[in-house]
A and B are shown apart, each in its own frame.
Chain A
Amino acid sequence: MLESHDVRAVELSALRDYELPGLMSAAASLNLERYSYVSVHAPSRFSELSESEVSRLLGLCRDHGWPVVLHPDAIQDPAHWDGFGDLLCIENMDKRKPRGRTPHELDRWFDRFPEASFCLDLGHARQVDPSMTGAHEFVNRFGNRIKQIHLSELNSRSKHKPLSTSTVLALQDVSLRLPQVAVILESVVEEAEIELELKMARSALDGAKMQRRSAPAYMAVT
Chain B
Amino acid sequence: MKESAIDTLQAACSASWTNIAASRTGAHSERDRIRSLLRAQRLVPSDTAFVVFGSLARCDWTSGSDVDWTLLVDGEAREDHLSAAHGIRSALVEAGYKEPSGEGVFGGTVFSHELVHRIGGESDSNRNTTQRILLLLESASLGGDDRDVRERVILQLLKRYVEDDYGYRPSAGWRPYVPRFFLNDVVRYWRTMAVDFAAKRRERAGRGWAIRNLKLRMSRKLLFVAGLSMALSCKLRPSTRLTETFESDEQFCSAMTGHLQELADKTPLEILAQWCIDFSAHGAAVEIFGSYDRFLELLADESSRKHLETLSVEAAQADDLFARAREIAREYQEGLTRLFFATDGKLTEHTQRYGVF
- CB <8 Å contact, A153 and B80: no
- CB <8 Å contact, B80 and A155: no
Q: Chain A interface (Cβ within 8 Å of chain B)?
A: 130-131, 153-156, 161-170, 196, 200, 217-219, 221
Question: A164-B44, A196-B40, A200-B42 known; A130 and B87 CB under 8 Å?
Answer: no
Distance from B153 Cβ to chain A, minimum over Cβ atoms (Å) = 13
Question: A165-B41, A166-B78 known; A219 and B86 CB under 8 Å?
Answer: yes
8 Å CB contact of B42 from A130, A131, A165: A165
8 Å CB interface, B44-63 against A: 44-47
- CB <8 Å contact, B76 and A163: no
Chain A residues lying within 8 Å of B43, measured Cβ to Cβ, are 164-165, 221
Q: Besides the contacts A131-B79, A162-B42, A169-B83, what 15 more A-B pairs have beta carbons closer than 8 Å?
A: A130-B79, A153-B45, A155-B75, A156-B47, A164-B84, A165-B41, A165-B45, A165-B84, A165-B87, A166-B83, A167-B46, A196-B40, A218-B86, A221-B83, A221-B86
Distance in angstroms between the alpha carbons of A169 and B78 in the assembled complex:
13
Chain B residues lying within 8 Å of A167, measured Cβ to Cβ, are 45-46
Distance from A175 Cβ to chain B, minimum over Cβ atoms (Å) = 15
Q: Chain B interface (Cβ within 8 Å of chain A)?
A: 40-47, 75-76, 78-84, 86-87, 90, 145
Query: Which of A163, A165, A170: most chain B CB closer than 10 A?
Result: A165
Distance from A101 Cβ to chain B, minimum over Cβ atoms (Å) = 15
Distance in angstroms between the alpha carbons of A99 and B273 in the assembled complex:
55
Chain B residues lying within 8 Å of A168, measured Cβ to Cβ, are 42
- CB <8 Å contact, A164 and B45: yes
- Nearest B residue to A131 by beta-carbon distance? B79
Chain B residues lying within 8 Å of A154, measured Cβ to Cβ, are 46
- Nearest B residue to A153 by beta-carbon distance? B46
Distance in angstroms between the alpha carbons of A130 and B90 in the assembled complex:
24
Question: A155-B47, A155-B145, A156-B47 known; A164 and B42 CB under 8 Å?
Answer: yes
- Nearest B residue to A218 by beta-carbon distance? B83
Distance in angstroms between the alpha carbons of A162 and B144 in the assembled complex:
10
A-B contact pairs, 26 of them (CB 8 A): A130-B79, A131-B79, A155-B145, A156-B47, A161-B46, A164-B42, A164-B84, A165-B83, A165-B84, A165-B87, A166-B78, A166-B80, A166-B81, A166-B83, A166-B84, A167-B45, A169-B83, A170-B80, A196-B40, A217-B83, A218-B83, A218-B86, A221-B43, A221-B83, A221-B86, A221-B87
- Nearest A residue to B41 by beta-carbon distance? A165
- Nearest B residue to A200 by beta-carbon distance? B42
- CB <8 Å contact, A156 and B46: yes
Chain A residues lying within 8 Å of B40, measured Cβ to Cβ, are 196
Chain B residues lying within 8 Å of A166, measured Cβ to Cβ, are 45, 78, 80-81, 83-84
- CB <8 Å contact, B45 and A130: no
- CB <8 Å contact, A155 and B86: no
Distance in angstroms between the alpha carbons of A166 and B78 in the assembled complex:
10
- Nearest B residue to A217 by beta-carbon distance? B83
8 Å CB contact of A130 from B76, B84, B86: B76
Chain A residues lying within 8 Å of B81, measured Cβ to Cβ, are 166
Chain B residues lying within 8 Å of A169, measured Cβ to Cβ, are 80, 83
Distance from B330 Cβ to chain A, minimum over Cβ atoms (Å) = 48
Chain A residues lying within 8 Å of B82, measured Cβ to Cβ, are 218
Distance in angstroms between the alpha carbons of A166 and B79 in the assembled complex:
10
Question: A130-B76, A166-B80 known; A221 and B44 CB under 8 Å?
Answer: no
Distance in angstroms between the alpha carbons of A95 and B145 in the assembled complex:
19
Chain B residues lying within 8 Å of A161, measured Cβ to Cβ, are 46, 145
Query: Which of B42, B43, B44, B76: most chain A CB closer than 10 A?
Result: B42
Chain B residues lying within 8 Å of A155, measured Cβ to Cβ, are 46-47, 75, 145
Distance in angstroms between the alpha carbons of A163 and B43 in the assembled complex:
9
Chain B residues lying within 8 Å of A196, measured Cβ to Cβ, are 40, 42
Distance from B141 Cβ to chain A, minimum over Cβ atoms (Å) = 15
Distance from B292 Cβ to chain A, minimum over Cβ atoms (Å) = 38
Chain B residues lying within 8 Å of A218, measured Cβ to Cβ, are 80, 82-83, 86
Chain B residues lying within 8 Å of A165, measured Cβ to Cβ, are 41-43, 45, 83-84, 87
- Nearest A residue to B149 by beta-carbon distance? A155
Distance in angstroms between the alpha carbons of A131 and B79 in the assembled complex:
8
Distance from A218 Cβ to chain B, minimum over Cβ atoms (Å) = 4
